[in-house]
Each structure stands twice: as structure tokens, then as C-alpha cells.
A and B are shown apart, each in its own frame.
Chain A
């Protein structure tokens, strides 16, 4: 409940404040957001699997974000930034889908 409230509050702050993303963060923020979403869905699934752990969630959240940003950074340095970004998005998207499918099976038995 509290994390959910935090999410809503964050969205509201972002909408009302509407800051510009600093230039050096611009390639990484979208990927980082998707990686964080992956961690969030993974956490929900873990709750339903009965293996949720607060510490693991926090660590995996931060690690996801950092690794995703690092991969994009590395891709930019290697000159394949856009392709690697696409690849990361695809992988994370597949993971989010599989997590959501698992959650759905838990909650709806279907």
C-alpha cells in the first residue's frame, strides 16, 4: 500500500513539476524505467509465489536500473546504442509479460 502511494505521489510530482531530463540521462531514463517496472512485477509475482523478500526487492530494483543503464551506456560507446536499447526493451518486455502471466495465473487461476 505504501509503495503504491509512493508511486502515485511520484507520478503526481512528476506531472506537476514537469522537470526536463538532464541531457546525460536522456538515453538511460526510459530503459531504467522499464527495468524498474520489471523489478516491480517480479516482486508482485514473488509475493504470490511466497518467496518475496524486502531486501531482495530493493536490491533487484536498484540492480536492474543500474545494469539497464549500463548496457545502454556501453552500447552507446560501442556505436550500437539504439540496437542495444531495442534489445534491452525487448528482453525486459518479455520478462514483464511472463511475470504478469504468472501473476494472472495466481490471481485468476487462468
Chain B
């Protein structure tokens, strides 16, 4: 840095030489301030003009500047601040949303709870076979005059249907549920203890095309049935009614595990 002017011996002019203080100092300042038409004074005026202009411009710039003139570390700091603020606000948002959901569900709770309970009841009713079901599906008829179709073959057919997305299945007059079992018997097949005679009629609700093609795959149910000397027909329908019901039994041994939450 260059210093303020400190060198140069006192100028010859009497009124400007020597250190002064007090009143004479004020006087000297006034004398110096008096307009003089020297080139240096003009220079000084120009410099002062530039200085004033620079000050005003910089102040204006500082007032109006956005982020573009900041250095990268300052930008990083600002970004960190903003990120923290954002996280905090996101937390707030989550909390408020939870509160709002609780309030809303509290307001419409009885109606909503009733509706969802009914939906659940319908779903469970179809799953457990306690309620009739209707919907698109297939009706498979296996005609077996020589009693060659075995329980295993029916079980295969059921497995294929479930694999193809069957949601409700009925064999003969027996609703097929989770604990359905098959056994060979004279003159037919036992399904959950009930004797079903040929022709076996299997109704299944699900995507008709998928289930029909699952029956028809090479080595599948249709081919197996044909190899036993029986015939099977698969009929796709947009409305299959499954009206056989399954009566629930209270489980003797299994007990539900209390859910950990609540």
C-alpha cells in the first residue's frame, strides 16, 4: 500500500507549512478549500468526482445485488442455510400433515370406518367363501364317463387356476377355500369330504383369458384330462356366479398374534 503523502518537505508557501492546531488549523483548512485554479486542484476535483461516483455506485450495487456477485464459499454457506431451512420446513410440513390427517379422519371417522370395515368384510367374505361372488371368469366342465379323473388332477387344475389369478373357485357344489382338500372316492372325487360326481364343473372368477390359456397350455390340465380318456371344455364368460358357501369353523388351535403396534 502506498501511504498517505508523508514525504516531501514543507512547501515554500508560508501559510501551508508547519504543523498547526486549533483555530489556525481550521483556518488552513478553509484556505485550502478556497477555489484555486491550479491543475492539481482540477485533478483532485476529478478524482473526488470519481470517488463519489464509485461510492454511490457501489452502495447502489450492494443494495440491489443478488447472489451473482458472491464468492463461491459464501454461496456454499447460503446453500447450506437454505438446505437446513428446507429440511426444517419439510419436518414442519410432515407434522402438520399428520395433524391434519388425524383431524380429518376424526371428523369423518364413523362413516369412513364403517365403509372400510364393510370393504374389508366383503374381501374377507370372498376369501373365506362365506359370501357368494360374481364376476368374469371361466366355467370348466370335465366329462369323465370312465372315472379316470383323479383328485390329483383336480388339484392340479385348481393350482393352475390359482396361478392364473383366480379369486373365487367352486367345484361342483363345494366352495374352494384355503382348507379345501381332495381325495379319490368311488364314483367321483371327494372335495372337503363331499362327494362330487362327474361331470365336474369348476367355476372360477378371475381374468377369463388368462385362466383359459392356463388350462390349455401344453402338458396342462386339458391335455392331462384328454390323456385319461375324458374331455374338458373351457367356457369363458363375463358373468360367472359362485353361490356355494363355506361355513367357517372357529379355529381350535391357532390364535392370532397380537399386533405389535397399538
Question: Which A residues are within 8 Å of any B CB, using their own CB?
Answer: 1-15, 18-21, 23, 26-27, 29-30, 32-33, 35-64, 67-68, 81-82, 88, 91-92, 95, 99, 105-107, 109
Q: Is B52 an interface residue (CB 8 A)?
A: yes
Give chain B interface residues in 14-32, CB to chain A under 8 Å: 16-22, 25-26, 28-29, 32
B124 to chain A, nearest CB (A): 68
Chain A residues with Cβ below 8 Å from B36 are 2
Asked if A95 and B4 sit within 8 Å, CB to CB, the answer is yes
Asked if A32 and B33 sit within 8 Å, CB to CB, the answer is no
Asked if B3 and A3 sit within 8 Å, CB to CB, the answer is no
Chain B residues with Cβ below 8 Å from A92 are 1
Chain B residues with Cβ below 8 Å from A41 are 4
Interface 0/1 of B34-51, CB less than 8 Å to A: 111010111111111111
Known pairs A10-B53, A13-B49, A60-B4 / 6 extra A-B pairs, C-beta < 8 Å: A7-B52, A21-B57, A35-B1, A38-B1, A48-B20, A52-B5
Residue of A nearest to B55 (CB): A33
Task: Given the known inter-chain contacts A6-B45, A33-B58, A50-B18, please indicate yes or no for A56 contacting B5, CB distance below 8 A.
Answer: yes
Q: Which of A4, A36, A55, A109 contacts B40 (CB 8 A)?
A: A55
* Complex-state Cα separation, A31 to B82, whole angstroms: 29
B24 to chain A, nearest CB (A): 9
Residue of A nearest to B38 (CB): A54
Residue of A nearest to B47 (CB): A61
Asked if A10 and B10 sit within 8 Å, CB to CB, the answer is no
Asked if A14 and B48 sit within 8 Å, CB to CB, the answer is no
Q: Which of B28, B43, B59 contacts A48 (CB 8 A)?
A: B28
Interface residues on B, range: 35 or more
B11 to chain A, nearest CB (A): 6
Interface 0/1 of B46-73, CB less than 8 Å to A: 1111111111111111100000110101
* Complex-state Cα separation, A48 to B6, whole angstroms: 12
* Complex-state Cα separation, A62 to B5, whole angstroms: 12
Chain B residues with Cβ below 8 Å from A23 are 68-69
Asked if B10 and A50 sit within 8 Å, CB to CB, the answer is yes
* Complex-state Cα separation, A81 to B72, whole angstroms: 11
Chain A residues with Cβ below 8 Å from B26 are 107
Q: Which of B8, B34, B52 has the most CB of A within 10 A?
A: B52
Asked if A15 and B56 sit within 8 Å, CB to CB, the answer is yes
Task: Given the known inter-chain contacts A6-B48, A42-B4, please indicate yes or no for A54 contacting B41, CB distance below 8 A.
Answer: yes
Q: Is B106 an interface residue (CB 8 A)?
A: no
* Complex-state Cα separation, A88 to B29, whole angstroms: 29
Asked if A1 and B35 sit within 8 Å, CB to CB, the answer is yes
B140 to chain A, nearest CB (A): 80
Asked if A68 and B1 sit within 8 Å, CB to CB, the answer is yes
Chain B residues with Cβ below 8 Å from A8 are 52
Minimum-distance CB pairs A-B, first 8: A42-B4, A14-B56, A10-B52, A54-B40, A56-B5, A6-B48, A10-B53, A6-B49
